[in-house]
Structure 1
Amino acid sequence: MIIEWLRTDFGLSIADLEPVVGGADAAAEVWRAQADDGTGYAVKWSAGGSTAALVLSDRLGLSGVPRPLRTITGELWSDRDGRRLSVLPWVPGQNGWQRPLTNEGWQAYGALLAAVHHSSVDPGQLPVEEYDHAPFARQLADTEYRDHELLRELLRHADGLAGDLRARRPPLVPCHADPHLGNLLADGTAVSLIDWDDAVLAPRERDLMFVLGFEDFTAEQRDRFFTGYGPAAVDRPALAYYLCVRAVQDVAELASNTADILSPTGFARRALASAEACRS
């Protein structure tokens, strides 16, 4: 099915199609495709994210941002069974969680994010940050952690910080919105950012939080990053807002995914049935 769609929509003759597992996007399926001529592609069939992500990655024109292939009719994606089918060049290398970045890699990471943040986009090309974390609060309310005091306190802080940010309207720049090391591929000294589905116009702290607070990086690693990124006067309230929201989001999504796995029709039950069948 996918191979035929790729032929019809993108004019690609695919010799091999291999599922890519381990992604956090439950609304998408991803494959590594190899064309008859040996060229590798990343194929995504998605119901989530925004079409603006493909528009932005096409418009940026940066070496570290894979540019989507166009369909035979010139579009950035095709519509198949109510989902978006898109194709990008396959980027070689390991992500920053699989293989630690070198000093040069940290500097290249900073330089790439700086280039993204300094790029210009036309009005209307990207969603604009609204400081609306209510969807994550509602998702959390459906989990066993709904009354966890630390998470409730984070939401209280997020409410106050969101009001401050809406009132003073800090500068907005194009942001990847999820540039953690799992979405950063390194090949030698070159780095690439993948998975732009949540791209947004937002304060740059939306991206910088992944270096300044999301993970336990060393001072030397951060110094290397900012050598590449350049001087940055960090908006501390914006940074705090994004850190609070991300913590709530991660717990809510993990708890929801766990509940799905353990549900009567979830993967854990299917695995148990498979094991029990071996004993009969």
Structure 2
Amino acid sequence: MREPPDFLSAEAVLDAVRTHWPIAVDTIEHLPVGFGAHHWRVSSAGSPRLFVTLDRLGLRRTAESLEAAYTAANELAAAGLEFVAASVPDRQGRCTVPLAGGSVSCVPWTEGSPAGSGPIGSDDLARQNAEALARLHATAPPVGIPNWRPRVGSDFGSSLAEQLQDPWETGPYGERARTSLAQRIEAIRGWTEAYHELGRRAADRPWVPTHGESHTANQLLTDRGLVFVDWESLAVAPRERDLVTLVNSGYVDLAAPDWEMIELFDLEWRLSEVAEYADWFGRPHTGTASDRAAFDNLVMELERPGWTRPDDRTH
């Protein structure tokens, strides 16, 4: 998130880290990075030690699913997947601690630069993506790893239409968001129907461990190579859950995907974003930088062209 949470002080986060993790730290700084969660850099004697995350609970994840995902990611790292940014267990051996209605987790601070915020920008990065994801997908699923399930229900379009009947006097973007959603409600119904049909077909495909949000914003370029961060969406699923970025960046040959499953997870991203932002703007908000970015993301997902297979594309 772009701004610190208004319901929790940095000092309270630092105190939680000191209390629950066996690592000496003395300073904390909020980082205006990512979206949907809050992040801090926690240091000791001026040196960064931990990257701390407060995950919100709700539409996408629960405290139980977060703990299961982060625990499974630690097991993947222990199995030799060096590109997994694993969590630091707390004094009780758990990866998450409840705080302010969410879950706090810590990973060791890693020096590096983000790989980007859109398509994969080079052949070398694409190759590193393909090789790392192939190793992940070939690894035996850890015990307790979550199973993928649809992020929105089959009635999402209908239930959303009901929520759009009355004005959203919730803040500066409320009515604008409601109008944008109402204008695309029939498309949302169609996306939802197609998504659940493809989800039913997914049961017949091989399922493997998947990161779930392996886009370039969740990749760090480091001295030791490519590192994937933010493993809260880790789940067993068809491998195409991790391949949409490769495909959309033009590296179909490296992905070798099942096209129906690519379409499934492209629809999943669009619908889960729409659902999250509909919930966001249906609630009180004040027009922060995060609100502005959320509204722009909502409009982009509503208006971007529908996914087509490469042999159907004109370029």
TM-score (norm 2): 0.69
Q: Does 1:65 align with 2:84?
A: yes
Q: Tell me how far 1:188 sits from its aligned partner.
A: 5.4
Q: Residue 150 of structure 1 aligns to a residue in which SS? A: helix
156-165 or 251-260, which deviates more: 251-260
Matches within 5 A, 1:79-228: 79-97=98-116, 101-123=121-143, 125-131=144-150, 133-134=152-153, 137=156, 140-141=160-161, 142=163, 143-144=178-179, 145-146=181-182, 148=184, 149-166=186-203, 169-187=204-222, 190-213=225-248, 217=249, 219=250, 221=251, 223=253, 226=254
What is the distance in 2 between the residues matched to 1:136 and 1:119?
35
Identity over aligned pairs, percent: 21
Q: 1:189 to 1:106 in 2, by over 3 A?
A: farther
Q: Which amino acid aligns with 1:109?
A: N
Q: Does 1:32 align with 2:38?
A: no
Q: Tell me how far 1:147 sits from its aligned partner.
A: 5.5
Q: Which amino acid aligns with 2:148?
A: E
CA RMSD of superposed structures (Å)? 2.9
Q: Tell me how far 1:234 sits from its aligned partner.
A: 2.1
Deviation by residue 1:196-236 (Cα, 9 ceiling, x = unmatched): 111111000111122224xxx2x3x555xx2xxxxx55222
Asked if structure 1 preserves the Cα contact closer than 8 Å seen for 2:154 and 2:193, the reply is no
Aligned residue among 31, 35, 55 for 1:46 = 55
Q: Which amino acid aligns with 2:230?
A: D
Q: Tell me how far 1:82 sits from its aligned partner.
A: 4.8
What is the distance in 1 between the residues matched to 2:282 and 2:100?
27
What is the distance in 1 between the residues matched to 2:23 and 2:269?
38
Q: 1:45 to 1:189 in 2, by over 3 A?
A: closer
Q: Which amino acid aligns with 1:93?
A: G
Q: Which amino acid aligns with 1:251?
A: V
Q: 1:159 to 1:57 in 2, by over 3 A?
A: closer
Q: How many residues are treated as equivalent by the alignment?
A: 249
Q: Residue 134 of structure 1 aligns to a residue in which SS? A: coil
Aligned residue among 7, 10, 13 for 2:21 = 10
Instruction: Give the unaligned 5+ runs of structure 1.
Output: 227-231, 272-280
Aligned residue among 234, 248, 272 for 2:271 = 248
TM-score (norm 1): 0.76
Q: Residue 162 of structure 1 aligns to a residue in which SS? A: helix
Aligned residue among 251, 257, 260 for 2:280 = 257
30-39 or 170-179, which deviates more: 30-39
